[in-house]
Each structure stands twice: as structure tokens, then as C-alpha cells.
Amino acid sequence: MSEPAFFNILLISWFVLAAVIFVALFFIVAPYGRHSRRRWGPQMGDRLGWVIMEAPSSILFAIFFVLGIKYISITAVAFLVLWESHYVHRAFVYPFSRRAGASGMAVTVVSLGFLFNMGNAYLNGQYLFTLSGGYANSWLITPQFIVGAALFIAGFIINRWADDSLRSLRQPGESGYKIPNGGLYRWISCPNYFGEMVTWVGWAVATWSLPGLAFAVFTVANLAPRARAHHMWYKRQFADYPPQRKALVPAIW
């Protein structure tokens, strides 16, 4: 099988898998974080699990950048910087910023996340730096890139702010959960997920590519049901949880 044929099959599979996961996650909550459950099999440390899951995205994307060097442009460097700004932080900074004592992760979840990130880095990296034939430097002044990059940066900032706000709720040595407040938490339960969705929708627009769109669709399919699960968990845990707060989209859902 030729690489273009394999690439296209994998790309189509990404859209199909996103649809399946979107439906499934309304019935099965992924067992990590506050939803961690021992019955999903062997557990590993939360921090190690995050590194193993997320590192392939950072490392493989950089490898595809180097391998596609004959097509490298300033635009390609811009794509690399955007991608790595998220994934270097997600794989090598975020896990160690979490409070000690966070829940463990099922090896099953880590394995599935590892495989997804391998495939996703391949789809996006191989397309951008090789199969696309390269993006001209003039792409940086197109409406697609300007709007997409702005969305990416806005989503990145929202995601980082929300994660920092959650982490600051616990003092050193504390465990358990509290109600977050302020900023977007005034209106939604999961601004961190909202920010991540905005980030990858921005990526899809900035790259104007089917692999970018597949990643954005997959992100929404994965995080929208989880935001709903988080929202319902908050309402069950806290009798005084703000009744006007929605799960993911202010005033709507």
C-alpha cells in the first residue's frame, strides 16, 4: 500500500472514530482524573501517564518537520511553534505542575492516548511538512492563517488560565476538589476544555487542512462529553454549585 493510500485511510478513520467516541463518551466516562476507577485495570502514576501519552505529539511532529526539510518555510516554522507551544507544555510541564497526590491513570487510558497522539502527529506533521507540498511564506498573511492563529493563541491562553485556576484552589498538602470561580468559571464548568477546543479549531483554520479539521473534530468529540460529565459531577458533589453555570458553552449548554 502506498503512503498516500495509507494516509487517506487513516484520515477517514479519524473522522469515523471521532463520531464513535462522541457517542460512546456520553455513556462511558473516560477513567482518569476525578473519574478514575480501579476496575479499568492496572494503574500508573498520573504524572508519568501524562508524559507517556502526550510526548509522542511533540517528538513526532518535530521529526516530521526535520524530515520534510526540503519544503520548510517560515510558515512551516510558525506551524511548528504553534504545535510545540501546546504539546511541550502538555507533555513536559503540565504533568509536573499538578499537585502531588493526584489520581492515578489506568494503563488502558494511557495506551489509547499514546496511540491517538502517534496517529494524530503523523497525520498533521506528515501532511504539513511533506504531503501538502509545502506552504508558501505568503500563507502567513492569508485570512485563514491570521484568524486561525488568533483563535489558537486565544484558546491556549484560556486553557492555561483555567488549568492554573484549578491548581490554585488547592494549597500545598491539600487534596479533594473545590468549586472554581472567576473568569470564564462564572459561566461554564470547563473553560479548560473550551479553551482546548478553540485552540484546535484555530489550528484547523490556520492550516486549512483535512488533518487539522480531523483533529478539531476529534477534540470536540472527546471533550464535549467529558465537560458534561464534569458539570454533572460538580452538581452532585456540591449542593451550592452555581445553578446558572453551564457545562461548556455560556448560557447554552
Question: Cα dist. 72→78, 99, 142, 238 in Å?
Answer: 10, 40, 18, 52
The whole-number pLDDT of residue 102 equals: 53
In the chain, domain spans: 31-136, 142-253
The whole-number pLDDT of residue 150 equals: 98
The whole-number pLDDT of residue 103 equals: 65
The whole-number pLDDT of residue 6 equals: 96
The whole-number pLDDT of residue 28 equals: 85
The whole-number pLDDT of residue 43 equals: 85
Helix or strand or coil: residue 43?
A: strand
**3-state SS, one letter per residue, for 181-231:** CCHHHHCECCHHHHHHHHHHHHHHHHHCCHHHHHHHHHHHHHHHHHHHHHH
Q: Are 86 and 202 contacting, i.e. CB atoms less than 8 angstroms apart?
A: no
The whole-number pLDDT of residue 199 equals: 98
Query: From first to last of its 253 residues, what are the pLDDT tens digits of the chain?
Result: 888 899 999 999 999 999 999 999 998 887 777 776 667 778 888 899 999 999 999 999 999 999 987 767 899 999 999 999 999 999 999 998 876 555 678 898 899 999 999 999 999 999 999 999 889 999 999 999 999 999 999 999 999 999 999 988 877 767 778 999 999 999 999 999 999 999 999 999 999 999 999 999 999 999 999 999 999 999 999 999 999 999 999 989 9
AA identity, residue 251:
A
Alpha-carbon span 45 to 104, nearest angstrom: 5
The whole-number pLDDT of residue 35 equals: 72
Q: How many CB atoms lie within 10 A of CB 155?
A: 21
The whole-number pLDDT of residue 226 equals: 95
Alpha-carbon span 173 to 37, nearest angstrom: 23
The whole-number pLDDT of residue 36 equals: 66
pTM: 0.94
